[in-house]
Amino acid sequence: MSLISEPIASFSPLYEQIKAMILASLQASEWLPGDAIPSEMELAARYAVSQGTVRKAIDELAAQNLLIRRQGKGTFVATHQEEDFQYRFLRLEPDSGEKLHLKNQFLACENIPSDPYIARLLKIKPGDSIIRIDRIQSSAGRPIAFEEIWLPEARFKGLNLEMLNAWPGPMYAFYESEYATHMVRAEEKIKAVLAGSDLAKYLQISEGAALLSVERVAFTYGNKPVEIRHARYDTNGQHYDNKLN
Amino acid sequence: MSLISEPIASFSPLYEQIKAMILASLQASEWLPGDAIPSEMELAARYAVSQGTVRKAIDELAAQNLLIRRQGKGTFVATHQEEDFQYRFLRLEPDSGEKLHLKNQFLACENIPSDPYIARLLKIKPGDSIIRIDRIQSSAGRPIAFEEIWLPEARFKGLNLEMLNAWPGPMYAFYESEYATHMVRAEEKIKAVLAGSDLAKYLQISEGAALLSVERVAFTYGNKPVEIRHARYDTNGQHYDNKLN
DNA sequence: CAGTGGTCTAGACCACACT
DNA sequence: GTGTGGTCTAGACCACTGC
C-alpha cells in the first residue's frame, strides 16, 4: 500500500491538512485500533512540516478520542478493547453511583431486508439486507434493558447468534476485532414511553410502566453510520447520566 | 482590586498555573461575561511568560466554553446573553429537527427552608433559605415542560415572580445580569416516569402518560452548584438529543 | 493603518517508559 | 541511555477587524 502523504483538500491551515491525512490513514486501516502511529518526528518528516504542526494535528484528533497520547510510549489509535473505552458510549448508571456491570442475553439474530426508516439512517437502499439483533441486558440478575440492533449486512457478513454468544466483551469491541469496524461517535434521541406487553415480559415489569427509549446511530470513520440501536431502559434504580458543558 | 498575577497552586506546568490565574480572575469578576480579556501579549507580560504559554492556557479555557476567541477582535468571557449560548444547555428538540421556541409561564416563586436533599446538592445547610420556582414551558401554545427550580436565597436575594415575568430571555441570562452568576456546566440525571394528576393537569395530558424526568445541577465558576432543576418533559413530538464522542 | 488572534518554525529542555 | 510525548520560548508572518 502506498503511504498517504499528499494533501487531500485544496486549502486550509497546514495542521488541518495533516489531520485530514492522518484521518485518511486511519480510515484506510494503515494503522489499526490499538496500534501506535509513527512518532511526531517521523510524521513531521513524512509530511514535511515541523513537529509543532504535527503536534497540533494530533492534539485535535486526541481531543476527539480518535487517538490516545501516552507520554514516553507513543500515540495510539483508540480502541474499544481498552479498559477506558470499554463502555465509552454507555450513559446508564445505578442511582447509587457505582459502576454498572451488564450481562448479555441474545434473543435473536436474523437477516432481513431493510425497511425505509432503517435504510435512511444507515444510508443504504431500502430492501438492502440488514442484520437485526435482539438482546436483554441484566444487572445483578435483574433485566434492565431491551435492545434492538440493526447492522448493514454488507459490512457484517456472517454475523450470527453463536458468534454473539461466544463473545465475552462489549459489542463495539466485537465489531472492531471481527469486522474491522471502529465506532467513533454516536447520536442519541431519548424519549419516555410506556411498556407494552412484549417489553413488560422481557423486562419483568408491569404493562404501562414508564421506560426510557434511546435511539442511537453510531458512526465509524468518515461519518459513516454503521449501527442503529433502539434501547428501552428500566430506570428504576438506574438513570441516564449526562454532562453539559 | 489587586491584580491576580502570582501562582496559586505550588506546582504544575506553567500554562496550568496561568489557567488557574485566569480562572481566579473570572471567579473574582475582574472580567465580566461579555467583556474582552486582555490581549495575549498583555497577559504574557502580566504573568511573565511567553505568548505561546498564555495561548495554550486560553485555548483550553476556550475549549471548555469559558472564553470565546474572535480573530481580529480579542478573547471574550463567555455569556449566556450571546445568541450562540442562549440555549446552550437545552437538549430538547422537535422530532422534525427544527429549533424549539419556548414560552414561559411562571406559576410560583416562594421562599422556603431547604430540605436535606436539595441542601446536599447545593452544598448548603439543611434549613437554609432557598427560593423555589415552578414554571411551565410551551411550544406553539402546547405545554411541553413542567419545571421546578431551587436556588440558594443567599445568592439570589430578592428574586420574585414580578422579576421573572418581566424578563424576556432565558433564565441563565437573567441570573447573569441580575445576580452576577454565570453558569459554566451542568449535570443531568434522566429517567422515565408516569404522570400523576398534577403533572397531567399542567401538561394537559392523561394521567399515567410517560414523561421524561430530568434532574439538573448547574455550576458556576469553581464548581460551585447554584441551581437545581427538576424538569418533566412531554416527549410526544420532541425528544432529548445527545451526542456521544 | 495598528492591533488582535492564528499559524508555523526551530530549538532547548523536561518527564516518562522501556530495556 | 535512547526514544517517546510534554513544555516553553522567541520570532516571523498570515488573516481578520475596525478605525
On the question of pLDDT at B124 being above 90, the answer is: yes
DSSP track, chain A: -----S--SSSS-HHHHHHHHHHHHHHTTSS-TTPEEPPHHHHHHHHTS-HHHHHHHHHHHHHTTSEEEETTTEEEE--TTSGGGTTTT--EEETT------EEEEEEEEEEEPPHHHHHHHTS-TT-EEEEEEEEEEETTEEEEEEEEEEETTTSTT--HHHHHH--S-HHHHHHHHH---EEEEEEEEEEEE--HHHHHHHT--TT-EEEEEEEEEEEGGGEEEEEEEEEE--SSEEEEEEE-
- In chain B, domain spans: 14-77, 92-240
pLDDT of the residue at B245: 92
Q: Give the tens place of pLDDT for each residue, B30-54.
A: 999 999 999 999 999 999 999 999 9
B161–chain A Cβ distance below 8 A for any pair: no
On the question of pLDDT at B5 being above 80, the answer is: no
Which of A63, A91, A211 is facing B192, going by the closest CB pair? A211
Rg, Å, chain B Cα set: 20
Give the A:B interface size as CB pairs under 8 Å: 103
Residue of A nearest to B220 (CA): A245
3-state secondary structure of B60: helix
Percentages helix, strand, coil for chain B (3-state, rounded to 5) are 30, 35, 35
Is B216:B90 a contact under the CB 8 Å cutoff?
no
Give the three cell numbers for residue A186.
Answer: 454516536
How close B5 gets to chain A, by Cα (Å)? 27
Instruction: Classify residue B168 by its DSSP letter.
Output: -
Which secondary structure element, helix H or strand E, spans residue B199, and what is its range?
A: helix B197-203
pTM (2 d.p.): 0.92
Whose C1' is closest to the CA of A12: which nucleotide? C7
On the question of pLDDT at B7 being above 80, the answer is: no
A194–chain B Cβ distance below 8 A for any pair: yes
φ/ψ (deg, to 5) at B32: -95, 155
Q: Measuring CA to CA, how many Å separate A2 from each of A5, A107, A169?
A: 9, 44, 35
Q: How confident is the model at residue B11 (pLDDT cuts 50, 70, 90)?
A: low
How many whole angstroms separate alpha carbon A143 and alpha carbon A229? 18
How many whole angstroms separate alpha carbon B135 and alpha carbon B110? 12
For D7, which residue's CA is nearest its C1'?
A: B13
Q: How confident is the model at residue B228 (pLDDT cuts 50, 70, 90)?
A: very high
Give me the residues of chain A with pLDDT under 50, please: 1-10
- pLDDT mean across residues, chain B: 94
Lowest mean pLDDT among B7-16, B86-95, B176-185: B7-16
Which of B191, B235, B244 is facing A191, going by the closest CB pair? B235
| Residues sharing a CB contact under 8 Å with residue B78, sequence separation 6 or more, in sequence order | B33, B65, B66, B67, B68, B85, B182
Verify whether the Cβ–Cβ distance A244 to B89 is below 8 Å.
yes
Q: Please, what is the end-to-end C-alpha distance for chain B in angstroms?
A: 42
Does residue B15 approach strand D to less than 7 Å at its CB? Answer: yes
Residue of A nearest to B187 (CA): A243
Is B232:B209 a contact under the CB 8 Å cutoff?
no
A185–chain B Cβ distance below 8 A for any pair: yes
For D14, which residue's CA is nearest its C1'?
A: A13
Task: Give, in words, the CATH class of A92-240.
Answer: alpha beta
Beta strands in chain B (DSSP E): 36-37, 67-70, 74-77, 92-94, 103-113, 129-139, 142-152, 185-194, 210-220, 224-233, 238-244
Q: Measuring CA to CA, how many Å separate B77 from each of A196, B6, B7, B30?
A: 49, 21, 21, 11
Verify whether the Cβ–Cβ distance A188 to B241 is below 8 Å.
yes
**Which positions in strand C are less than 7 Å from the protein's CB atoms?**
3-11, 15-18
Is B221:B182 a contact under the CB 8 Å cutoff?
yes
How many whole angstroms separate alpha carbon A159 and alpha carbon A181? 13
HSE value, Cβ hemisphere, 13 Å, CA-based, for B231: 22
For domain A14-77, give the CATH number: 1.10.10.10
Q: Measuring CA to CA, how many Å separate B43 from each of A122, B20, B56, B89?
A: 49, 13, 12, 31
Verify whether the Cβ–Cβ distance A191 to B243 is below 8 Å.
no
pLDDT of the residue at A176: 95
Does B10 or B67 have the greater pLDDT score? B67
How many whole angstroms separate alpha carbon B154 and alpha carbon A193? 39
Task: Provide the pairing of β-strand B92-94 with B238-244.
Answer: antiparallel
pLDDT of the residue at B204: 97
- Average of per-residue pLDDT across B5-19: 72
Q: What sections of B99-194 are H helices per DSSP?
A: 116-122, 161-166, 171-179
CA of A101 to C1' of C19 (A): 38
3-state secondary structure of B166: helix
3-state secondary structure of B244: strand
How many whole angstroms separate alpha carbon B110 and alpha carbon B120? 20
A59–chain B Cβ distance below 8 A for any pair: no
pLDDT of the residue at A107: 97
3-state secondary structure of B111: strand
Residues 67-126 of B with CB under 7 A from strand C: 69-75
Does residue B41 approach strand C to less than 7 Å at its CB? Answer: yes
Interface of A with B in 86-105 (CB under 8 A): 88-89, 91, 95
On the question of pLDDT at B234 being above 90, the answer is: yes
**Which positions in strand D are less than 7 Å from the protein's CB atoms?**
3-11, 15-18
Instruction: Classify residue B114 by its DSSP letter.
Output: P
A230–chain B Cβ distance below 8 A for any pair: no
3-state secondary structure of B198: helix
Residues of A whose CB is below 8 A from B189: 95, 239-242
- Average of per-residue pLDDT across B203-213: 98
